Amino acid sequence: MARCQTSDEIRQKGFDMNKEETQRIGEVIQSSTLGFAAQCYELDDFPPLGALVETQSGDNRVYGIVFNAATEAIEPGRKPLARGKNETSEEALYNANPQIAKLLKSEFQALAVGFKKDAKIWRYLPEQPVAIHSFVYLSPPADILEFSRSFEFLNTLLNSNITLAHEELIAACLRQMSAVQEDKHAFLVAAGKHLATGLSNDFNRLRTILERIKQ
Amino acid sequence: MSTEDKRMGIVVSGSTNKGVEVRLDADTSVEDMVVGRYVTIEGRKRRFFGMITEVILGVTDLSLTQTPPDTHDSFISEVLCGTGTFGTLEVMPYLTIGGDTLSITDGPQPVKTIPSHYSTVQLAQDSDIELVFGKEDKERFYIGNPLDMETKLCINLPELVKRSNGIFGKSGTGKTFLTRILLIGMLQKSASVNLVFDMHSEYGWAGTSEKTREVKALKQLFPSKVAVFTLDEENSRKRGVSTDHVVRIGYNEIEPEDMSLLRETLNLTEPAVEAIYQMRRKFGSEWFLKTTQMSDSEGTKELLNSLNIHESTFQNLQRGLNMIKRLPFMQERTEQKTVNRIIEDLSRGLNVVLEFGRYTDITAYILVANLLTRRIYSHYRDKTEKSLSGLSEPPIPLVITIEEAHKFLNREIANKTIFGTIAREMRKYNVTLLVIDQRPSGIDEEIMSQLGTKITCLLDNERDMDSVLSGVSGKSELKSVLAKLSAKQQALIFGHSVPMPVAFRPREYGSAGSYKEFGAKADDFEQAQQDIEDLW
């Protein structure tokens, strides 16, 4: 797959680079059919849990839901140490140890939940994993609204193979998405009804999610 | 309003035997669903008409019932409504109409299949009811409105009177009002005449409603078409009824069959009834008088011995006969004037109502009804047979209305009485029955199965319900509709003259406006208006 795209190419696909640039949060460092992992450009500057993120990969604009984030040492064997015993504030700690930012990295993982191709959104797995080093953007409200018109992606989340409890992830995702909705309540009720169908034989899981999304 | 606006749910399962299960949409409240209401189901190829027979609450997960969510949490309730928790209906499809032109001209047909999965279900519209039951016309009579609908429910009366029919319901559920409405309908549209044995004097001149308001009955509304006969002249006069004829019964008119019908009410023993037949053989038509006049003499003993009748049996018999003799309308001898007069009126197309006045005792009712009916029936049979051989015109179809029908048609005597014969032979001789009863379980099953159309108000006895619904397809479903009828002014009609069962609210009866709607004479209407003004 042709990896590098000029900003012109991207613009032709209807993506506003200038606007998105401000919301660019990282780049893909690991990719699979099920999703991707991305490294944040700034330490601890994660997208929220359950946030919708997107990345352009070839013709596809792939959407992912953030399900995990972590900050750890760049070198696996080198664990961070507590250094602030004699510092007055955390800011002072960073100032006294400028190497910290260089020795640590922040990463997040997202599950692929859909993609946009030829101006149409498909809420299932893209044919190809996203290309490595694709830039990852936090989805703007307009994209969230468009993507959340159907709740089919919730089924992908429900059936995903992740260690995080599905209920937590789904609730977080719906909370994130509801924030940009005009009628937040109606959105959450509709999502709840969709889940109720999927979890028709497991009311306790449904209740866990509903408890986490009600206002 | 488009059909989509009225959509209530979709068919999710079903069988021809038990009807279909309809899952309600989330926005349709089960509380708006009423057992007995009509729905239409849009199948792929055809349209079905059915009735709601059961409303059920369902859950997808049992834990919803075992550990219900917090009911104060409106969000969870809102989410669960229509998803985890939902309403379902059981609907019995009765009629279907195909989509092609031929089927549309043929009209609705009985169902032989069920709608396919996920067919949409709507509440029936007025136009659907009209399609099924037809509009009010010269044969169809408006009897009421289907439950919760404004549209007119019409039944085909010439079709109705071709068979014997029944009106059932507990006391106070509106049987009498319903009967009165039906009698007016028959009088106007069925091309038949009625003979009403009016036990409580409710149909001839005036009846009462439970609000103790007097309502007009047949003679007041249609004076030229109704003749009122009375057994109790004095009572009729007191009530201000204009009667046409006073009925007297002669001892010589009583036949042994009449007595065997009265066995129970007169407390006669089996041997006593047997003795009656022997007396009849011995004394001929004078048996009644002679038997009652026999004194306690040697001659009597000898006679009893010769007839092999035990003395106690004879005493039992005499006691019974004396009870009849004491009835004030009994006379020593009549020349069958009453019967002839009734037949004459009936053949002129007049409807005859026989009022019993104060003699509401069941003995008098059974005796008179059976005696007169037997004569009238034999007259009809002769006339019909003559007409079959081309000698004369067939008689006008006759409908005989009897109350407390289980006294005439119970298991023990149904095959002995004339009413049993009429119910069984049906319209062969142009005579049918309209039986009115509050204990249908007391009526012989064979007779019940011969009734063409049954109209039933609320019944709450299990056996009565079973008896009314015996032989009807979808019995258990109809039973749940029947059991849930309101105690007043609601009824269920099913059988020969209606294409499908329907629960309905009988039309209004008793107001000045209602009389006018029945097509009573214009001056009656004015009179009614005058009455109202006087009242104020």
In this model, does residue B522 exceed pLDDT 60?
no
**Which of the listed ranges A103-117, B209-223, B461-475 does the model predict with the highest average pLDDT?**
A103-117
Which among A185, A196, A207 has CB closest to B83?
A196
Interface of B with A (CB under 8 A): 26, 60-61, 63-64, 67, 69, 73, 75-76, 78-80, 82-84
Q: B-chain residues within 8 Å CB-CB of A210?
A: 75-76, 79
Report the 10 Å Cβ neighbour count for B137: 10
Asked if the Cβ–Cβ distance from A202 to B82 is below 8 Å, we say: no
DSSP-derived letter for residue B316 is H
Nearest one of B131, B123, B127, B182 to B147, comparing CA atoms = B123
Residue B529 has what pLDDT?
A: 57
Nearest one of B284, B271, B350, B353 to B312, comparing CA atoms = B271
Contact B258, B244 (CB under 8 A): no
pLDDT, tens digit, for every residue of B264-285? 788 888 888 888 888 888 888 7
In this model, does residue A18 exceed pLDDT 80?
no
Asked if the Cβ–Cβ distance from A196 to B84 is below 8 Å, we say: yes
Q: B-chain residues within 8 Å CB-CB of A215?
A: 75
Mean pLDDT value across residues B306-313: 80
For B434, phi then psi, to 5°, come to: -120, 105
Residue B107 has what pLDDT?
A: 75
Residue A149 has what pLDDT?
A: 93
Q: Considering only A1-5, A174-178, B503-507, which range has the smallest mean pLDDT?
A: A1-5
User: What crossing angle do the helices spanning A203-213 and A166-178 adopt, rounded to 10°?
Assistant: 40
In this model, does residue A77 exceed pLDDT 80?
yes
Mean pLDDT value across residues A18-45: 84
Contact B99, B47 (CB under 8 A): yes
Residue A12 has what pLDDT?
A: 41
In this model, does residue B3 exceed pLDDT 60?
no
Between residues B25 and A12, which one has the greater pLDDT?
B25
Q: A-chain residues within 8 Å CB-CB of B61?
A: 200-203
pLDDT band at A4 (very low <50, low <70, confident <90, very high): very low
Q: B-chain residues within 8 Å CB-CB of A207?
A: 69, 76
Name all contacts of B240-246 with Cβ < 8 Å and 24+ positions apart: B240/B205, B241/B201, B241/B204, B241/B205, B241/B206, B241/B355, B242/B205, B243/B355, B244/B345, B245/B338, B245/B341
**Residues 151-210, chain A: which have Cβ within 8 Å of B?**
185, 188-189, 192-193, 195-197, 200-204, 206-207, 210
Strand-strand pairing, B46-59 and B38-42: antiparallel
Nearest one of B172, B62, B146, B127 to B488, comparing CA atoms = B172
Residue A188 has what pLDDT?
A: 93
pLDDT, tens digit, for every residue of B103-155? 667 778 888 889 999 999 998 888 888 888 888 888 888 888 888 788 888 88
Which among B26, B61, B73 has CB closest to A200?
B61
Which residue from A minimizes the CA distance to B64? A203
Here the ipTM equals 0.78
Asked if the Cβ–Cβ distance from A201 to B78 is below 8 Å, we say: no
Dist. CA B355–CA B360, nearest whole Å: 9
pLDDT, tens digit, for every residue of A151-186? 999 999 998 888 889 999 999 999 999 999 999 999
Asked if the Cβ–Cβ distance from A210 to B63 is below 8 Å, we say: no
- Burial call A15-32: b when 16+ CB within 10 Å, e when fewer: beeeebeeeebbbbeebe
Dist. CA B140–CA B156, nearest whole Å: 4
One-letter amino acid of B294: M
Q: A-chain residues within 8 Å CB-CB of B74?
A: none
Q: Which residue has the tokens 């795209």?
A: A5
Residue A191 has what pLDDT?
A: 93
pLDDT band at A2 (very low <50, low <70, confident <90, very high): very low
Would you state the structure tokens that stand for residue A67, as one six-digit string? Answer: 């399900």
Residue B22 has what pLDDT?
A: 94
Contact B355, B241 (CB under 8 A): yes
In this model, does residue B480 exceed pLDDT 70?
yes
Would you state the structure tokens that stand for residue B342, as one six-digit string? Answer: 């009734």
Asked if the Cβ–Cβ distance from A193 to B83 is below 8 Å, we say: yes
* Half-sphere exposure at residue A132, Cβ-oriented, CA atoms within 13 angstroms: 4
Q: What is the dihedral of CA B426, B429, B434, B437, to 10 degrees?
A: -60
Dist. CA A84–CA A100, nearest whole Å: 12
Nearest one of B323, B322, B291, B293 to B304, comparing CA atoms = B291
Q: Find how far residue B270's CA is from the centre of its chain.
A: 32
Domain limits of chain A? 7-213
Which among B61, B75, B80 has CB closest to A214?
B75
In this model, does residue B38 exceed pLDDT 80?
yes
Contact B497, B156 (CB under 8 A): yes
Contact B7, B41 (CB under 8 A): no
Would you state the structure tokens that stand for residue B291, as one six-digit string? Answer: 């038997």
Give the mean pLDDT of chain B.
82
Mean pLDDT value across residues B426-453: 84
pLDDT, tens digit, for every residue of B158-182? 888 888 899 998 888 888 888 888 8
Mean pLDDT value across residues B186-209: 80
Asked if the Cβ–Cβ distance from B60 to A200 is below 8 Å, we say: yes
Residue A17 has what pLDDT?
A: 42
Contact B346, B352 (CB under 8 A): yes
| Residue B177 CA: distances (Å) to CA of A114, B63, B166, B184, B217 | 69, 50, 14, 11, 10
Q: What is the dihedral of CA A42, A43, A49, A55, to 10 degrees?
A: 30
Cβ-in-10-Å burial (0-12, 13-18, 19+) of B408 comes to: buried
Q: A-chain residues within 8 Å CB-CB of B60?
A: 196, 200-201, 203
Which among A200, A204, A214 has CB closest to B73?
A214
Residue A37 has what pLDDT?
A: 96
**Chains A–B, number of C-beta pairs less than 8 Å apart:** 48
Dist. CA B427–CA B374, nearest whole Å: 16
Instruction: Kindly report the nearest CA distance between residue A174 and chain B, in angstroms.
Output: 14
Which among A196, A201, A204 has CB closest to B79?
A196
Mean pLDDT value across residues B326-339: 77
Asked if the Cβ–Cβ distance from A201 to B76 is below 8 Å, we say: no
Asked if the Cβ–Cβ distance from A203 to B64 is below 8 Å, we say: yes
- Per DSSP, the residues of B258-295 read HHHHTHHHHT--HHHHHHHHHHHHHHGGGHHHHHHH--
pTM of the model: 0.72
Residue A61 has what pLDDT?
A: 93
| Residue B235 CA: distances (Å) to CA of A5, A126, B77, B341 | 109, 95, 66, 21
Nearest one of B261, B400, B249 to B328, comparing CA atoms = B249
